[in-house]
Structure 1
């Protein structure tokens, strides 16, 4: 069976016209003879939307119960039974509202509308649907940062990316706000709030840009797929894309700036920095330098990419063609013109092989070795260099003398090969230039002593002249190849040593994590140091943050150091490090920087969480003060004003009732303020319980005495002969809060029960106090939320309270080394269980 196709009408915000566009699409298909039905339509009371659906067949919706209320939802089975060619499904991100009991009874049922849509597509039915850009899962965090609201109904991006068509339904922010003002989106009572919050012009503009960018990326994906499917390698300049080649050398920064300027000249232009690593891994820049290039690229608005290729020019052009680049930037060559003529460089090869991609050669101060900053070669030690020149001059003369003394034992071919062997040996010992000198000296001596006529530099036989010329060229070429192979061998040896050290580093990171002391010990061990320390520079000098072994206390006593950040360095004591070791050490420095950034990020996250929690608490407190604290104050004020009114004569009964109202309001106010103070003490950690033996029967009686409706509480504490270990004052607050909460949620005429006994778990000896109500109860998934500050779950009959009682009760219980939990009451309701440690048994003689 063929799978159906999905068409998505994407909008930046509600009200742009997605649903009407979906209905118009359905009507057009119906007019062409396609079987179209409306599977689900959410009109939200909009007359224009309902009118747009006239003439289209509507599949009846199924009825569900949610929180005791009947709701209608998409009936997938009915649509599958009807089997239309096209189904119109509104609001793809909608969540199916069902109770926990229904979910438990139907574990395989869909709870999201996009899952229903996938079922229709699997059955071969085409679906046309609607979606807001803020409902894309990948954009959830971005949308929250823009609007301050986190979307709870989202759709995975892969669902939308798998659509055959995504059509943007666009409307300018100004037009959308006018549509809102005219009442075409929300009811009149919600218009003002929407215009000043969700539908602010800046919010709408940002969401519109998100929708356009997301859709543009999807268009690029489709273009790439088309080019790949049709084998198109030519550049299609649909968007200006600039690729800049960087090598990590000094000119890289200017190349990045030039690429950013070129890309910024056209709307929608983008640029990418590319670093090509040799496949043999024998050359390249340090990890720290790559990280600097990456950071600089990000600062300038580009993206950084590292590719591996056997040839730099080939790898660069392959990448440029892969991203459909229109321009490539390369720096002017550092090599001399003679070297370029003998062997073209990367820039020359890119120009020759670029095809229809424009190539910009950017000049810089180091081009053609200007400024004396030519490409560095692998250095040869002075000892080896001296040995090479000794082989090129004295050894060559000595060989010529020996051959001159034994003319009957050899001929010109043997003499030439012996001189060539000496040139190769010179290249192995001293490198290129001693070998070149040796080749020239060997050629001259071979010509003077062994080529007729001897004793002169004249060559009688042209064939001998040709042989000497070939000897010279071959000697220089062999010397160059041997020198290059020797340098590659040296680089390979160094790379292997660095790889081994990096493997040790990786192993160390797995075991040390963020522990700077252990990491310092590992680094000191790798480099054979006696000690290492992390130093942070301050206005008063250097401070040692972490150390290992015989560590220096300042930069003056260090044998080596590496900079981690402008303010932080790692210093070592032991021996100086050469250049190769310092390059490897930069990898360790990079990890030190990551460790510090991670610590700072975690600290910042903790501070942000604390600030957010404090802000949430303050906001909730202000909201509570504005209502819950004012309510008892208003009652007290009204009753007191009535009593003081001289124009009214109150009877004794009325006066007593008003005074009781004042007293009741004052008690409620005292309770609210007491909970606020208790919460403040708990959050600041200033609760210091005085633990002693407490008789639970006396504690319960003392806590219930001042409570209103205490006559509804049934206390059954018989059989408990062991006291608890608790703070009597704190326990009084705990019991009072729990009982007040139970009374608030228990219907009139139904008692609240308070029982006590020993904890049934023998591994956790203690006393438990149970406060049992027979109210509506709380779902298992919401029980922990009961103990969060300012939480009021369900409908509270009394309508007052800050939602602090249970939070304070749990905090005070835990301060007494106890535990407060919530369990179901058999037959319905909630039971709050307080577990306290047993008081030590008294041993009598």
Structure 2
């Protein structure tokens, strides 16, 4: 490789064609000639002229690096010689057809990788590619043209180019070039004009190229604005930002934004939802989810940002996105609140600057003088206590002070009644506190303001004192109530966060079970019982439950939440509040993940067993088939004696039996793992199974405890497992006797097949369960189909099969089975 003259990375110049035949290679060759005329060292590493005279003429006068010749499947091919180009070390190299896939045996699989190597060497590269070869547009191109492009290049490669030159041509002009024979040979012209090169196809490809390149130019504009710290938007492209609150008007705003975006070709729709920094005022998650789905359905994107000031956050997002318009709904608040606090739309309009602000009216616009107060988060008992305190406490304090204090001090009474208002606000909330302030005002007027005993006030300063008392009491009650609500919301948010965190950890760990989910759900919400139900035909089955009695159908639950189309969580107990819905749905999502994980695990186990079995059977089928074929050929040969004929028939019979056994294994296990056949688990004595399994294997000692243990199993499948284990042990024991033992354990029964053969090293014991795994040395110690089938059947029976070293040498296979209850 030649020395790299400059440590810099080379520049990539891409000539992007909107369709085949528009002249991108011709234009790239023209650029090479212009650089050569300026004294630049330019070579051609690869150019494909397709036999076009104009392109071949354009390539004349340029140095061409010889191509590399490769042989593949008996044919000769030529590819770009990357090593030769690197050794030549030019300043600029021309490489045609960037999306090309190299012939096997080349340095890289894709020509784009060759180009990347040249760029790393500091060589500038001029290359070409058509729009239909970009990876992200492959599906769209196939829908338009009906042709699937087999050679593609990642969009990232072209987007990161230093310069992109679009080579475009009107569809009619391109079709004329085709008709004149400037693109394809005459025998292909008619077929091309009536298929790929139809006007509609060429127009659509042209639009794809223009839109893709416009996005790339837009990225460059964003980079330029960031590099030069330009904050104000440059309206180079129509971008509409919709401010989504999560309220009922959100869908109306999104649809209005989508209609406005459709009026401008290439416009983008972006929906933004601002999450408050304190995290206390959470939007309705279900409405936000519906808004996200609606945005996606109209071709927009949904974004969530965090901000203390909603208006400023929306404007900052719009400025960062270089938006041209912000759509915001008219305030839902009442007229009085809008009068004193203003509206989000007004504040956005004052901050937006050059960005247009579009106010949209909707059915939820507030028209009342006072907005409806939100429901109290306090319990009914506290609300009743608050109202009683509002009426009784001021009167009791006023009477006590009036009876004890002969001076009737107005200041002391004012402080005492103000304290009672605070106490009522803490206990019962805002409305009882305001009522208590009014009653305190009347008590102060009647008992402590001269002339006492009447509601008449003689001195103006006392009137002012009473008014100030009411104002201060109302303000203090409002602050205390709001602080109480915020504290309750913060506590609830902290509890929700802790619950969500626990759920997230269980999801990431993958160790959660359906039983754990329903138990945690019952604990968090204090329910009597929780059931996870799945639809089974016309009824329901309980997958997991916690507490008793549990609901057997969704209708029996007091609260129900959908997990998926066939699964439901049913809760029995106190009905949950609306605020609990978000956490409840999180539990439903977790339950769905658990069920999906269970299904995937079962499917993975079934596929693994089926794959292993197919590999094993396909390997083992050859031996009996070869034996049968040789025996049949012998029987058909002339002059076969009677003894030879008998021996050949016996060989055919033995091979047929072996072949039948393999096919039975294949069919039974395939049905079993696909869910079509299930083991029939019954209580069976090992005396019924083991003798039949070891029959036909000489030199096997069977030792079973008396009385023989009972196991929960399928006798036929267990017999196959033991027969396979014994057969493997006999083949690899080297003539030594094989022992089959059975022992009872507290929760299981172990069947051990013990041999005194060469054994298997500990590091290879997991690998030996792979079908026909010879452990890399080809010795007789390798194990094959028997162990692969045995492990698959054992897992289907709910047992385990593990290898252990036999003391003194050899291998012991331990088959653990569940005891019969």
* TM-score when normalising by structure 2: 0.68
Alignment partner, residue 761 of structure 2: none
Deviation at 1:222, TM superposition (A): 1.0
- Equivalences for residues 627-638 of structure 1 within 5 A: none
CA contact (8 A) 2:15 2:129 kept: yes
Map 1:36-75 to 2 at 5 A. Answer: 36-67=42-73, 71-75=77-81
Summarize the alignment of residues 260-299 of structure 1 with structure 2, pairs less than 5 Å apart. 260-299=258-297
Write the distance in 1 (CA, Å) between the matches of 2:182 and 2:657. 62
> CA separation of 1:386/1:728 partners in 2, compared to 1, >3 Å: closer, same or farther?
closer
Partner of 2:545: 548
Among candidates 96, 101, 108, match of residue 102 of structure 2: 96
Distance 1:836 1:76 in 2: 48
Deviating more after overlay: 39-48 vs 27-36: 27-36
> Displacement, 1:48?
1.9
In the TM superposition, residue 204 of structure 1 has moved relative to its aligned partner by 4.6
How far residue 50 of structure 1 moved from its aligned partner, in angstroms, is 0.9
Contact 1:244 1:272 in 2 (8 A): yes
Contact 1:818 1:837 in 2 (8 A): no
Cα separation, partners in 2 of 1:414 and 1:207, compared to 1, 3 Å:
same
Find the counterpart in structure 2 of residue 488 from structure 1.
Answer: 486
- How many pairs are equivalent? 654
Q: CA deviation at 1:42?
A: 1.6
Q: Which residue of 1 aligns with 2:237?
A: 239
Quote the offset at 1:289 in angstroms: 2.9
Which residue does 1:361 correspond to in 2?
359
Measured in 2, the distance between the counterparts of 1:818 and 1:491 equals 57
Q: Which runs of 5+ in 1 are unaligned?
A: 104-108, 610-681, 708-720, 735-761, 768-816, 825-832, 839-845
What secondary structure sits across from 1:437 in the alignment? helix
Taking a change above 3 Å as real, the CA distance of residues 568 and 531 of structure 1, as seen in their structure-2 partners, is closer
8 Å CA contact 1:692–1:725 kept in 2: the answer is no
CA distance in 2, matches of 1:834, 1:702: 30
Supply the RMSD in Å over aligned alpha carbons.
4.8
Cα deviation, 1:795-840, whole Å, max 9, x if unaligned, reads: xxxxxxxxxxxxxxxxxxxxxx997999x9xxxxxxxx998879xx
1:577 correspondence with 2:576: yes
Offset, 1:508 = 4.5
1:351 and 1:445, CA in 2 relative to 1: closer, same or farther beyond 3 A? Answer: farther
Distance in structure 1 (CA, Å) of the matches to 2:515 and 2:197: 53
**Taking structure 1 as reference, are residues 377 and 26 closer, same or farther at Cα in structure 2, changes over 3 Å only?**
farther
Match of 2:703 in 1: none
The 3 A distance-change label for structure 1 pair 837 and 463 is closer
- Return closer, same or farther for 1:132/1:821 CA change in 2, 3 Å cut-off: farther
Match of 2:366, SS state, is helix
Aligned to 1:419: 417
Q: Which aligned pairs between 1:332-731 and structure 2 lie closer than 5 A? A: 332-369=330-367, 374=372, 376-407=374-405, 411-451=409-449, 454=452, 465-510=463-508, 519-520=517-518, 523-524=521-522, 526-527=524-525, 528-534=527-533, 543-544=540-541, 546=543, 548=545, 550-563=549-562, 569-590=568-589, 699-702=629-632, 726-727=655-656
Shift of 1:529: 4.2
> Structure 1 residues 339, 836: closer, same or farther in 2, change over 3 A?
closer
Give the whole-Å Cα distance in 2 for the aligned partners of 1:583 and 1:836. Answer: 52
Deviates more, 1:477-486 or 1:340-349: 340-349
1:43-75 superposed Cα distances (whole Å, 9 cap, x missing partner): 122222111222333334444454565544334
In structure 2, what is the Cα distance between the partners aligned to 1:261 and 1:289? 21
Structure 1 residue aligned with 2:27:
21
Q: What's 2:794 paired with?
A: none
Residue 227 (structure 1) aligned to one of 225, 228, 240: 225
Deviation, 1:443, is 3.5
Task: Look up the match of 2:756.
Answer: none
What is the CA deviation profile of residues 158-195 of structure 1, one whole-angstrom value per residue up to 9, with x for unaligned ones?
A: 32222111122223455545544544334445556656
* Cα offsets for 1:181-213 (capped at 9, x unmatched): 544334445556656665566655554443333
Is the Cα contact below 8 Å between 1:272 and 1:302 reproduced in 2?
yes
| Distance in 1, Cα, partners of 2:621 & 2:114 | 59
> What is the CA-CA distance between 1:367 and the residue it aligns to?
1.1
Where does the alignment leave 5 or more consecutive residues of structure 2 unmatched? 1-6, 608-612, 638-649, 664-726, 733-768, 777-781, 788-821
**Aligned pair in 2 of structure 1 residues 589, 452: CA closer, same or farther (>3 Å)?**
same
CA contact 2:246–2:287 (8 Å) conserved in 1: yes
How many Å separate the matches in 1 of 2:512 and 2:166?
47
Q: Kindly tell me: are residues 543 and 19 of structure 1, through their superposed partners in 2, closer, same or farther at Cα, counting changes over 3 Å?
A: same
Q: Is the 8 A contact 1:416 1:446 kept in 2?
A: yes
CA shift for structure 1 position 87: 2.3
| Aligned-partner Cα distance in 1 for 2:770–2:319 | 68
